[in-house]
């Protein structure tokens, strides 16, 4: 009987203890973890590795790299932007800070936006039209020393841009900000203008944000997060913007980026749960095993398309590739599947065109042998010009992957009869060599381009408009310059809507079928592996990464 | 002694000048066009020309070097990174403590291991301990730090969960964007890097200490001390160790400088944000001012360590001073 009493007493104490513990833990948990209506838990710290080097800049007007932009997206409030949606839906612009898409004047030169009322920066101050005016001024200010905006001729896009860049005006006269109304006066109609505004450069910054050519690291932001702390080369910490009231996800309490982690070690960390994700992806050699163990896009190992096209460039400005038949012969000769295999499992999709899925005007076509080299066809197309061609200077960087890529390409070129001079070039010189007009190279094996904004102009005009060739720093390092094609590019750029898409679709095909200045071979994918606790994977093909603000670790 | 010190100081200054001239020539003159690198991949020729003028690269090389030297000596400025535009002084200030933690911690580890093992091996040559320690020497010298680091982090960090796989924590609590800090976390995160870093040097030092002790034990003055009836411990401590460890001091001074180079591998494997890691990133991004700054800093460290060793040795061994 007495034993029973003791047992009852013990059970009572245990029950009370469990009740107290459950209440306490529940209270503690609810402070940091809240389940949303969709079942996604908020809270926790999302720990992200970067196996590549650190962000070069987190100042929105100096940042340009893909990883910079994918991070800044979580802090950004833009006039127009992309929603946190997977697939094609994620590449459709929507008015974010603006109440709607802009009204455009009849002459097509004045764009007027109305900013949503009630938007706030992370310090509580309101977001007004002046915040967007300041972002333009910071990208074009001579005090910022940024060549980025200049490269896209932004100063020529806006009335008063050139004078402002030259330091002759305090403000850009073509941008008027009054309260919540913002207007842009363009120098000429520009169908890409709204797309251009989706770039991270044009995020809202406080109107008193200083001009600083070294860039700012910690500043108030109006998106779901702001940069709370940054120690370049060591870590970057994002915290939730307490004043953000929009409907974009903001699941983790904070997001911590740790740069420079060795890619293999980083994978071990994610497997062990010491890190949640490496934003630089997984080692190429690990992709197949991860897919076998975890499946693809089934919870932990993810493969997503990017906006990046990889290509090899021929120097169209000098022999032998000033001969279009030889350029076509090379397109038949290159073994595209071998180049893709080199990058490991799930590296991407073979291609022989420059536009990528998701870009208006993209329509898949096949002009050359994308299932493997067709040596016979290459010899037939190249004809006797192959034997008389001078030795090709094939230039590449000396990394293992680049060297292997060059070796495969050189093997293919030799198969059809070209003579090869292999020119490994240090990364310090590489771009200077290939981007300088009059360069002695014939064939570049390291080439690639990712979208600055979702528009075919950013691929075809930027890379192949020969009228823009200059003495140095050319993006068109095929040195392709065809007056007829240049004129067609300029015409396509002046169009809008369906006519524009159709024009670029035709140009994409004509570029490769008629001129073949380059050898596109891969639309690349990115491969990621997450810790088991990571949920709510939403992938952006624009950034080539998940939306970090949407990931849940609570 | 004063003359000895003055001579050493002048020698250090001379070495510094030679090292900076070579560094400057290698990193600024040989690789193509620093102005184009600084202006960025997308700059127009006008931008490049503007940057060239801004960086004084349109001046004769000798004047560029003198300007570099004046900024270095007169203003203690190493310039700004081409990539991040941060001050190189700031970058080095951030990274040097991490590398110092690795190098000095590693040095304590390798001395703590190599001195007793080396002495015991010398006292009992061809014993089991001696053979085991010589096997360790062989493995330590042969195995690359990257391989050792990867194996350790996989076994100890990933499989056994004893230490973190990679990462670094500041010694002093607090700091910008710091996720962990404090002496305990600092040491806990550095345990594997220290062991990795230690192995090569410990292997070399075991052999060095063993050889020195064996050589010293056969000296006449040791035999004399024994003949005079000195105890074995007194002979060892007063006569053998004191003399046989003197060269270790010299080598240690030089190795601490050289270890900055070895730190590159260990820092890369364990994600320690130190100078070695920084210089690799700078190389990958063609960030010449950062590379130059770190090389100059490392050079100064080597010169300072050597100077300290020279002076210390001069004090310890009067025979050195006249030479």
**pLDDT tens column, A132-183:** 999 999 999 988 877 666 666 788 899 999 999 889 999 999 999 999 999 9
Cβ–Cβ of B36/A54 closer than 8 Å?
A: no
Of B40, B177, B286, the CB nearest to A427: B286
Residue of chain B whose Cα is closest to the Cα of A144: B85
Q: Choose between A16 and A229: higher pLDDT.
A: A229
Question: Do A526 and A542 contact (CB within 8 A), yes or no?
Answer: no
Q: Is the pLDDT of residue A190 over 70?
A: yes
Cβ–Cβ of B177/A431 closer than 8 Å?
A: no
Residue of chain A whose Cα is closest to the Cα of B51: A145
Cβ–Cβ of B286/A213 closer than 8 Å?
A: no
Q: Is the pLDDT of residue A395 over 80?
A: yes
Q: What is the pLDDT of residue A36?
A: 55
Q: Please write the tens of the pLDDT for every residue from A314-373.
A: 999 999 999 999 999 999 999 999 999 999 999 999 999 999 998 999 999 999 999 999
Q: Please write the tens of the pLDDT for every residue from B65-104.
A: 888 888 888 888 888 887 788 899 999 999 999 999 999 9
Q: Please write the tens of the pLDDT for every residue from B169-210.
A: 989 887 666 778 899 999 999 999 999 989 888 888 999 999
**Partner A contacted by B260 (CB < 8 A):** no
Residue A244 belongs to some domain of the structure: yes
Range with the largest mean pLDDT of A28-42, A512-526, B218-232: A512-526
Cβ–Cβ of B44/A473 closer than 8 Å?
A: yes
Cβ–Cβ of A269/B284 closer than 8 Å?
A: no
Q: Please write the tens of the pLDDT for every residue from A262-272.
A: 999 999 999 99
Chains A, B: CB pairs < 8 Å:
135
Cβ–Cβ of A215/B84 closer than 8 Å?
A: yes
Of A56, A147, A233, the CB nearest to B94: A233
Of B85, B86, B153, the CB nearest to A265: B153
How far, in Å, CA of B5 to CA of B7, rounded? Answer: 5
Q: What is the pLDDT of residue A38?
A: 61
Residue A287 belongs to some domain of the structure: no
SS3 of A49-99: the string is EECCCCCCCCCCCCCCCHHHHHHHHCCCCCCEECCCCCHHHHHCCEECCEC
Residue A79 belongs to some domain of the structure: yes
Of A56, A62, A233, the CB nearest to B278: A233
Residue of chain B whose Cα is closest to the Cα of A259: B271
Q: What is the pLDDT of residue B57?
A: 76
Q: Is the pLDDT of residue A5 over 70?
A: no
Chain A residues in contact with B185 by the CB 8 A cut-off are none
Q: What is the pLDDT of residue A163?
A: 94
Residue B233: other Cβ atoms inside 10 A: 8
Q: What is the pLDDT of residue A35?
A: 53
Of B85, B154, B164, the CB nearest to A214: B85
A352 and A494 belong to one structural domain: yes
Per DSSP, helices labelled H in chain B are 2-24, 34-39, 45-54, 61-73, 88-123, 128-142, 145-152, 183-217, 220-227, 232-234, 242-244, 246-270, 275-284, 288-316
Of B42, B85, B91, the CB nearest to A213: B85
Give the list of residues 6+ apart from residue A209 with CB closer than 8 angstroms, or none: A134, A138, A216, A219
Chain A residues in contact with B196 by the CB 8 A cut-off are none
Confidence band of A27 (pLDDT split at 50, 70, 90): very low
A379 and A522 belong to one structural domain: yes
| pLDDT average, residue stretch B130-139 | 87
Last residue of a domain, one of A247, A263, A280: A280
Three-state secondary structure call for residue B131? helix
Q: Choose between B126 and A133: higher pLDDT.
A: A133
**Partner A contacted by B31 (CB < 8 A):** yes
Q: What is the pLDDT of residue B312?
A: 78
**Partner A contacted by B94 (CB < 8 A):** yes
Cβ–Cβ of A472/B36 closer than 8 Å?
A: yes
A208 and A127 belong to one structural domain: yes
Q: What is the pLDDT of residue A7?
A: 46
Q: What is the pLDDT of residue B267?
A: 92
Q: Virtual CA dihedral for A382, A385, A391, A393, nearest 10 degrees?
A: -50
Total domains present in chain A: 2
Nearest chain B Cα distance for residue A471, angstroms:
7
Residue A324: other Cβ atoms inside 10 A: 15
Kindly report the average pLDDT of chain A as a whole number: 90
Confidence band of B52 (pLDDT split at 50, 70, 90): confident
Assess if CATH 1.10.443.10 describes domain B97-320.
no
Determine the residue among A234, A264, A475 to mutate to test chain B binding: the one whose Cβ has the most chain B Cβ atoms within 10 Å: A234
Percentage above 70 pLDDT, chain A: 92
Q: Please write the tens of the pLDDT for every residue from A368-385.
A: 999 999 999 999 999 999
Q: What is the pLDDT of residue B28?
A: 65
How far, in Å, CA of B91 to CA of A262, rounded? Answer: 20
Residue A546 belongs to some domain of the structure: no
Question: Do B205 and B213 contact (CB within 8 A), yes or no?
Answer: no
Residue of chain A whose Cα is closest to the Cα of B167: A261
Of A230, A271, A428, the CB nearest to B286: A428
Q: What is the pLDDT of residue A3?
A: 45
Q: Please write the tens of the pLDDT for every residue from A209-263.
A: 999 988 999 999 999 999 999 988 889 999 999 999 999 999 999 999 999 899 9
Instruction: Check if the interface score ipTM surpasses 0.90.
Output: no
Of B47, B270, B278, the CB nearest to A150: B47
Domain ranges, ordered by start, for chain B: 97-320
Task: Report in angstroms the alpha-carbon separations of A163 from A157, A468, B19.
Answer: 12, 21, 46
A313 and A246 belong to one structural domain: no
Confidence band of A206 (pLDDT split at 50, 70, 90): very high
A125 and A58 belong to one structural domain: yes
Dihedral sign of CA atoms A480, A486, A489, A494 in order: positive
| pLDDT average, residue stretch A421-426 | 91
Cβ–Cβ of A265/B270 closer than 8 Å?
A: yes
Nearest chain A Cα distance for residue B274, angstroms:
9
Residue A536 belongs to some domain of the structure: no
Outline where DSSP puts E strands in A192-269.
225-231, 235-240, 254-259
Q: Which residue has the tokens 């932007």?
A: A81
Residue A292 belongs to some domain of the structure: no
Of A232, A236, A274, the CB nearest to B165: A274
Cβ–Cβ of B269/A265 closer than 8 Å?
A: yes
A271 and A410 belong to one structural domain: no
CA angle B183/B187/B188 to nearest 5° reads: 115
Residue A6 belongs to some domain of the structure: no
A275 and A336 belong to one structural domain: no
Residue of chain B whose Cα is closest to the Cα of A50: B271
Nearest chain A Cα distance for residue B142, angstroms:
23
Nearest chain B Cα distance for residue A236, angstroms:
6
A30 and A175 belong to one structural domain: yes
A457 and A369 belong to one structural domain: yes
Of B48, B153, B273, the CB nearest to A233: B273
Residue A296 belongs to some domain of the structure: no
Q: Is B318 exposed, middle or buried (0-12, 13-18, 19+ CB in 10 A)?
A: exposed
With CA atoms as reference, report the closest residue to B310 among B253, B238, B240: B253
How far, in Å, CA of A515 to CA of B205, rounded? Answer: 66
**Partner A contacted by B44 (CB < 8 A):** yes
Q: Please write the tens of the pLDDT for every residue from A266-300.
A: 999 999 999 999 999 999 999 999 999 999 999 99
Q: What is the pLDDT of residue B51?
A: 73
How far, in Å, CA of B59 to CA of B68, rounded? Answer: 12
Last residue of a domain, one of A280, A313, A335: A280
Nearest chain A Cα distance for residue B47, angstroms:
7
Q: Is the pLDDT of residue B112 over 80?
A: yes
How far, in Å, CA of A29 to CA of A554, rounded? Answer: 9
Task: Report in angstroms the alpha-carbon separations of A445 from A49, A320, A396, A417, A428.
Answer: 29, 16, 6, 18, 16
Q: What is the pLDDT of residue A354?
A: 97
Q: What is the pLDDT of residue A349?
A: 95
CATH number, residue A476: 3.10.105.10
Chain A residues in contact with B161 by the CB 8 A cut-off are 272
Nearest chain A Cα distance for residue B36, angstroms:
7
A178 and A325 belong to one structural domain: no
Cβ–Cβ of B42/A472 closer than 8 Å?
A: no
Chain B residues in contact with A65 by the CB 8 A cut-off are none
Determine the residue among B166, B168, B193 to mutate to test chain A binding: the one whose Cβ has the most chain A Cβ atoms within 10 Å: B166
Three-state secondary structure call for residue A530? strand
Q: What is the pLDDT of residue B282?
A: 85
How far, in Å, CA of A232 to CA of B81, rounded? Answer: 12
The β-bridge relationship of strands A41-42 and A45-50 is unpaired
Phi, psi for A303 (deg, rounded to 5)? -125, 130
Question: Do B102 and B197 contact (CB within 8 A), yes or no?
Answer: yes
Question: Do B106 and B267 contact (CB within 8 A), yes or no?
Answer: no
Of A258, A268, A432, the CB nearest to B153: A268
Question: Do B189 and B167 contact (CB within 8 A), yes or no?
Answer: yes
**Partner A contacted by B293 (CB < 8 A):** no
How far, in Å, CA of A35 to CA of A251, rounded? Answer: 10
3-state helix, strand, coil in chain A (%, to 5): 35, 20, 45
Chain B residues in contact with A471 by the CB 8 A cut-off are 45
Give the DSSP letter of residue A107.
T
Cβ–Cβ of B273/A475 closer than 8 Å?
A: no
Cβ–Cβ of A234/B177 closer than 8 Å?
A: yes
Confidence band of B142 (pLDDT split at 50, 70, 90): confident
How far, in Å, CA of A183 to CA of A103, rounded? Answer: 9
Cβ–Cβ of A234/B31 closer than 8 Å?
A: no
A273 and A325 belong to one structural domain: no
**Partner A contacted by B42 (CB < 8 A):** yes
Domain containing A371: what range? 305-526
Cβ–Cβ of A233/B95 closer than 8 Å?
A: yes
Q: Which residue has the tokens 């962000």?
A: A55
Determine the residue among A473, A474, A476 to mutate to test chain B binding: the one whose Cβ has the most chain B Cβ atoms within 10 Å: A473
Q: Is the pLDDT of residue A304 over 70?
A: yes
Q: Is the pLDDT of residue B322 over 70?
A: no
A266 and A398 belong to one structural domain: no
Q: Is the pLDDT of residue A39 over 60?
A: yes
């Amino acid at each position: 009987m007495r034993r029973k009493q003791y047992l009852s007493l013990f059970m009572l104490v245990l029950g009370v203890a469990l009740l107290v513990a459950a209440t306490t833990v529940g209270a503690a948990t609810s402070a940091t973890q809240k389940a949303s209506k969709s079942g996604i838990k908020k809270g926790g710290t999302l720990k992200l590795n970067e196996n590549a080097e650190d962000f070069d800049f987190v100042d929105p007007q100096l940042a340009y790299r893909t990883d910079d932009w994918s991070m800044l997206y979580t802090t950004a409030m833009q006039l127009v932007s992309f929603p946190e949606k997977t697939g094609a839906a994620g590449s459709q612009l929507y008015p974010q800070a603006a109440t709607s898409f802009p009204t455009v004047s009849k002459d097509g030169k004045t764009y007027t936006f109305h900013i949503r009322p009630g938007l706030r920066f992370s310090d509580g101050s309101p977001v007004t039209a002046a915040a967007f005016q300041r972002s333009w001024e910071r990208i074009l200010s001579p005090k910022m020393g940024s060549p980025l905006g200049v490269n896209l001729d932004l100063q020529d896009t806006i009335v008063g841009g050139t004078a402002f860049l030259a330091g002759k005006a305090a403000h850009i006269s073509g941008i008027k900000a009054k309260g919540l109304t913002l207007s842009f006066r363009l120098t000429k109609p520009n169908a890409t203008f709204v797309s251009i505004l989706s770039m991270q450069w044009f995020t809202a910054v406080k109107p008193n944000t200083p001009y600083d050519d070294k860039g700012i690291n910690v500043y108030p932001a109006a998106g779901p997060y702001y940069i709370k702390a940054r120690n370049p080369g060591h870590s970057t910490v994002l915290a939730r913007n307490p004043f953000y009231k929009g409907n974009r996800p903001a699941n983790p309490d904070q997001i911590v980026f740790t740069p420079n982690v060795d890619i293999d070690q980083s994978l071990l960390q994610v497997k062990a749960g010491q890190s949640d994700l490496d934003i630089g992806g997984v080692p190429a050699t690990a992709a197949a095993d991860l897919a076998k163990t975890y499946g693809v896009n089934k919870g932990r190992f993810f493969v997503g398309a990017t906006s990046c096209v990889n290509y090899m460039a021929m120097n169209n400005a000098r022999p032998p590739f000033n001969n279009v038949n030889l350029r076509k012969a090379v397109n038949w000769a290159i073994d595209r599947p071998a180049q893709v295999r080199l990058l490991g499992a799930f590296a991407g999709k073979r291609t022989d065109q420059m536009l990528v899925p998701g870009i208006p005007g993209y329509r898949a076509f096949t002009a050359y042998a994308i299932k493997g080299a067709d040596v016979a066809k290459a010899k037939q197309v190249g004809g006797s010009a192959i034997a008389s061609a001078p030795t090709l200077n094939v230039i590449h960087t000396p990394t293992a992957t680049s060297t292997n890529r060059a070796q495969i390409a050189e093997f293919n070129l030799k198969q059809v009869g070209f003579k090869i001079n292999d020119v490994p070039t240090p990364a310090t010189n590489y771009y200077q060599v290939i981007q300088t007009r009059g360069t002695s190279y014939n064939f570049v094996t390291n080439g690639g381009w990712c979208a600055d904004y979702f528009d075919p102009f950013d691929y075809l005009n930027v890379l192949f408009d020969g009228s823009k060739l200059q003495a140095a720093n050319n993006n068109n390092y095929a040195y392709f310059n065809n007056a007829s094609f240049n004129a067609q590019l300029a015409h396509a750029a002046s169009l809008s809507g369906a006519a524009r898409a159709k024009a670029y679709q035709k140009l994409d095909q004509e570029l490769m079928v008629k001129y073949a200045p380059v050898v596109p071979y891969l639309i690349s994918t990115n491969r990621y592996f997450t810790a088991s606790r990571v949920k709510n994977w939403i992938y952006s093909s624009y950034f080539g990464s998940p939306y970090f603000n949407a990931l849940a670790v609570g | 002694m004063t003359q000895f010190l003055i001579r050493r100081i002048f020698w250090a200054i001379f070495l510094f000048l030679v090292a900076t001239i070579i560094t400057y020539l290698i990193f600024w003159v040989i690789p193509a066009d620093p102005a184009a690198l600084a202006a960025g991949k997308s700059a127009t020729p006008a931008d490049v020309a503007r940057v060239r003028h801004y960086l004084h690269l349109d001046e004769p090389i000798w004047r560029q070097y003198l300007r570099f030297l004046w900024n270095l000596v007169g203003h203690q400025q190493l310039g700004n990174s081409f990539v991040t535009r941060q001050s190189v002084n700031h970058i080095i200030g951030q990274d040097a403590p991490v590398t110092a933690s690795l190098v000095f911690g590693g040095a304590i580890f390798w001395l703590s291991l190599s001195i007793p093992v080396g002495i015991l091996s010398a006292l009992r040559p061809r014993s089991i301990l001696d053979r085991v320690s010589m096997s360790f020497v062989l493995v330590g010298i042969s195995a690359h730090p990257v391989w050792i680091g990867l194996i350790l982090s996989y076994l100890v960090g990933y499989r056994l969960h004893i230490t973190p796989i990679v990462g670094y924590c500041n010694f002093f609590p607090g700091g910008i964007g710091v996720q962990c800090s404090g002496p305990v976390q600092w040491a806990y995160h550095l345990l594997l890097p220290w062991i990795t870093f230690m192995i090569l040097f410990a292997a070399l030092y075991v052999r060095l200490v063993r050889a020195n002790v064996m050589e010293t034990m056969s000296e006449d003055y040791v035999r004399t001390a024994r003949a005079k009836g000195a105890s074995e411990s007194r002979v060892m401590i007063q006569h053998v160790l004191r003399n046989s460890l003197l060269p270790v001091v010299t080598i240690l001074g030089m190795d601490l400088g050289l270890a900055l180079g070895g730190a590159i591998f260990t820092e890369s494997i364990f994600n320690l944000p130190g100078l070695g890691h920084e210089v690799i990133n700078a190389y990958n991004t063609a960030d010449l001012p950062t590379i130059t700054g770190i090389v100059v800093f490392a050079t100064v460290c080597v010169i300072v360590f050597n100077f300290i060793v020279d002076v210390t040795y001069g004090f310890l061994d009067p025979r050195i001073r006249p030479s």
